[in-house]
Structure formats: structure tokens, C-alpha cells
Amino acid sequence: IFMAEMSFEQLWADVVPVPQVDAPDAVVKIAYSKEFTNLMDLFRAVQKKEEYSERVLELIEELLELNAGNYTVWLYRRNCLKKLKLDLNEELDYLDGFSKENPKNYQIWHHRRTIVEWLGNGDRELAFCESVFEVDAKNYHAWAHRQWALQTYNLWDNELTFIEKCLKTDIRNNSAWNQRWFYVHSGPEAQSIDVLNREVAYCVDSLMQVTLNESAWNYLRGLYKTHHQELHEIIRTKVEEMVESSNRKNPFALGLLADICEYTGNQLLTAGPNEATQAVQELREASKICVELVSLDQIRAKSWTRRVRTLNLRADSVVVEAA
């Protein structure tokens, strides 16, 4: 408003700029542009005198166009908003546009969260995050912000539908799989056996579509490790079926089956000496699978070789103790 009515020099005629103090013999001086230097000199001056005004907000906007990551400038902007009692929804309008050019800027996301907290209303946030996902479906900042908004303002109602829409668009979207895990384990649903079985079924169905989808395999592995007591039988059965249907050529299926066999063997060992024979069988089976993976998954061949050695040593030690 002010800048439209008068020249820049007229607007700031009453302010004495405060230059940045650099070491006189600095080895590497930052090559600031003349425009940035002049604006920052003015900013230091208004910061020193603690001025909060419309012209300062305009100055801040010009500075952020030149350096959107300047957290000191963002902090001062928030102070201005609070002191001037400005409409915070208008600030979100500003951020909606500004964020499109800086979608992975930490300071912008922090600023937005603070404004939403001041408003005490997260109704705009899910739609805003969706607009970001349309450009980058794996934007970490947007997913983290979405999770915060869901929990803080209890916006869960349509989240599972949204997640399934994302996965239908890209079944390999690891961010969407992570969001599904977040929904199941941090959302409003109780982790009942029905919910857990639903998740296993959804995961297996997706793997029928794309058998080498590492994101889905990691999700299934997470279900097993977190809920093995409830899901051991169903997940082991499904994984064994997928191992055989792939003619033992799917490294993700084999890797998870090795994990299951090893976990089962270790659990049997803790059950007492009467289970030692079965425990050794499970450990040997895990070792056998890892031998297959040495050839099948050559990128991780050394890791599988080391695991074979570890499993065999453990099984051998049980046999010796039993003797």
C-alpha cells in the first residue's frame, strides 16, 4: 500500500540502515546482491527499533522473495502479524501462493503451523496438503504437516479413503504407505483383529498387482513385527504362498519369510529345551532361504552371507547345548 503511493526512498527516508558487520579480513565473503544488502540493512534497522508496521511487512515480503529460508525474517513477520492484529486467514492465503514456489522450505511450513495454531482451526490444511501432493506426492513436509493437522484437530473422517486414492494413483508411493501405517496406529480406529486382518488383506491384494513393490512388502513386514502374536499364522501362510507362486524368485517374499523363520526359531528357544528341535529347524530354514538370496539378491549378497553365518552359528550352538 505505502510503496504504491511513494518511492522506496521516500518510504524509508526516516530510517538509518544498519549495515552487516563482517570481519575485515574474512577469507570468504558472501556475495550478496546489492538489492539484498540494502533490504537487509533496512531490516536490521527496523528490528533494532522494534517497528511493527505495514511497511515492515512489505519489506519482509521483498526479503522473503530473495531468501525464503531466512528464519529471522519469518519470526519478525509473525511478530508483526501479532502486534498489528492482522487477519490470519489472509496470511494463510499469502502462504498458499508463496509455498508453491518453495514447497520444501522448512521455515514456511513452520510458519504455517504457527499461524494455524494461532487460529485454532485446521480446516484448510488437508486440502492445502492435497494441492501440494498434486505436484509432489512424496513431499515430506506436506505429509508431516498433514499428520500434525489430523491429530491436532481430529480430522480423521475421510483419511483412509484419501490414502487409498493415493495408492490407487501410485501403488508404489512409499509416503502413502507410511500414511496408512500412521492412520492405523495413530488414528481413531482401535487395532482390533478385524482391522489388522483388513490391513493384511489390503497389502496382499496390492502385492498381487505388483509383486515386487518394496513399499508394500515393508508394510507387511511392519505388520508382522508389530503384531506377530495376532498375525503370525495368516502372514506366514500368505508369504509362503507368494514365495511358491513366484518360483522362489521374489527376493522380498523370501526375505520376509527368512525373518519369520528366524523370529519363530528365536521364540521357540525362549520357550524351553522341549522346543529346541523345532527351533533349530526354523533357524536352518531361515539360513537356507538366505543362501538362496545370496544368488538372487546380489546387491545385498554380503549381507545375506553374513546372516547365513550368524544363523548357522546360532543353530549349531543349540545342537551342542542339547547334546
Which residue numbers are catalytic?
Answer: 104
Taking Cα atoms as reference points, which of 301, 302, 309 lies closest to residue 283?
309
Count other Cβ atoms within 10 Å, centred on residue 157. Answer: 10
The candidate with the shortest Cα–Cα distance to 116, out of 158, 85, 149, 139, is 149
> Do residues 184 and 220 touch, judged by C-beta distance below 8 A?
no
277 contact partners, CB below 8 Å, separation of at least 6: 322
Listing DSSP states for 174-241 in one string gives: HHHHHHHHHHHHHSSS---HHHHHHHHHHHHHHHHH-TT-HHHHHHHHHHHHHSHHHHHHHHHHHHHH
DSSP-derived letter for residue 16 is: -
